[in-house]
């Protein structure tokens, strides 16, 4: 059993912290809205801390799952002041690789380890403990943290030095953007051609066109249901990170940039909280 703290109890963090309790760890949480931390503590029999300093005091592992770079920097400041030497910070936020490298260096200066560990799998993956974690950092820190992450992950992998986890997450989102747009156009085409979308998926869903998106989102897209996963607002945040990084390193993300523009149209339609498969809406309205 390890002493763990979890900072950030959003859609992902709330169940992830719960899995740590179920795995037998001693868990103390902090959330910007304290009432949510207290609700979590009541549900999972953990401890809700009033401050970040109290949450991380004496912890062996400090997990973060907050919004963006600015949020990571904001919570890392008190963590650096209050965490014990030798603690491992596991940052599950999707942020920039520059943020990860800065936090890694700042943590090392205080005798802490820092791993950038963005996650994939959506809310369902968090609830079911089936997330994929892409990590950047030192081997020793990763080896120490892996048993902790195993409480809520089906797969973890160290991708390289600090920042490599965040770069891998960018690639994940780039690939998803193209896959969802392709599926949206395929479903739209099937509808316009008068075909039954379920029959189409049955026919092509085990061949080269198959994808997670097709098998899990084609049916709900056909039904015009877009409340099933990762929100458009979050996807645009993630794609923004990837596009800025691409500009810096000289990578061509023509398709990702185009799909990001489509998601901007969805936001203008009031769909910022719709899931990413809502790309179909701009083709049908």
Q: What tens digit of pLDDT does each residue of 135-151 get?
A: 999 999 999 999 999 99
**Rounded Cα distance, 38 and 29, in Å:** 9
pLDDT at position 229? 76
pLDDT at position 118? 98
Average pLDDT of every residue of the chain: 97
Q: Which CATH architecture has domain 167-284?
A: Orthogonal Bundle (1.10)
pLDDT at position 228? 81
- The pTM assigned to this predicted structure is 0.95
Query: Helices 212-222 and 164-193, interaxial angle, to 10°?
Result: 40
**Rounded Cα distance, 21 and 18, in Å:** 5
Neighbouring C-alpha atoms within 13 Å toward the C-beta of 7 = 29
pLDDT at position 1? 87
Q: Which residue has the tokens 């940039």?
A: 257
Which sequence spans correspond to the domains of the chain? 3-161, 167-284
**For residue 200, what are the CA distances in angstroms to 193, 207, 223, 280?**
11, 12, 14, 16
pLDDT at position 51? 98
**Rounded Cα distance, 223 and 273, in Å:** 17
Spelled out in words, what is the top-level CATH class assigned to the domain 3-161?
Answer: alpha beta
Residue 101 is among the residues annotated as catalytic for this protein: no
Domain 167-284 in the same topology as domain 3-161 = no
Which pLDDT tens digit goes with each residue over 22-49? 999 999 999 999 999 999 999 999 999 9
Positions of the chain with pLDDT under 70: none
pLDDT at position 31? 98
Q: Is residue 223 classed as helix, strand or coil in its secondary structure?
A: coil
Query: 38, 169, 206, 257: which is the annotated catalytic residue?
Result: 169
pLDDT at position 20? 98
**Rounded Cα distance, 8 and 136, in Å:** 20
pLDDT at position 87? 98
Name the β-bridge partners of 116: 91, 136
**Rounded Cα distance, 146 and 153, in Å:** 9
pLDDT at position 18? 98
């Amino acid at each position: 059993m390890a002493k763990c703290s979890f900072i950030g109890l959003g859609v992902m963090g709330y169940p992830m912290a719960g899995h740590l309790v179920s795995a037998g760890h001693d868990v103390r949480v902090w959330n910007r809205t304290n009432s949510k931390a207290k609700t979590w503590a009541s549900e999972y029999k953990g401890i809700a801390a009033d401050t970040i300093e109290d949450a991380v005091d004496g912890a062996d592992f400090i997990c973060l799952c907050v919004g963006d770079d600015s949020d990571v920097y904001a919570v890392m400041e008190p963590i650096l002041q209050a965490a014990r030497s030798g603690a491992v910070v596991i940052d599950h936020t999707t942020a920039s690789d520059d943020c990860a490298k800065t936090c890694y260096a700042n943590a090392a200066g205080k005798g802490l380890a820092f791993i950038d560990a963005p996650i994939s799998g959506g809310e369902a993956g968090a609830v079911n403990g089936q997330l994929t974690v892409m990590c950047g950092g030192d081997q020793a820190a990763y080896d120490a943290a892996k048993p902790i992450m195993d409480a809520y992950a089906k797969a973890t992998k160290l991708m390289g030095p600090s920042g490599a986890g965040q770069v891998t997450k960018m690639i994940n989102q780039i690939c998803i953007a193209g896959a969802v747009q392709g599926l949206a156009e395929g479903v739209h085409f099937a509808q316009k051609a008068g075909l039954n979308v379920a029959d189409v998926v049955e026919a092509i869903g085990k061949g080269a066109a198959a994808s997670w998106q097709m098998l899990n989102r084609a049916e709900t897209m056909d039904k015009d249901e877009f409340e099933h996963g990762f929100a458009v607002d979050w996807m645009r945040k993630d794609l923004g990170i990837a596009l800025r990084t691409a500009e810096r390193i000289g990578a061509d993300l023509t398709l990702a940039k185009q799909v990001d523009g489509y998601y901007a149209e969805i936001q203008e339609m009031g769909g910022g909280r719709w899931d990413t498969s809502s790309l179909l809406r701009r083709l049908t309205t």
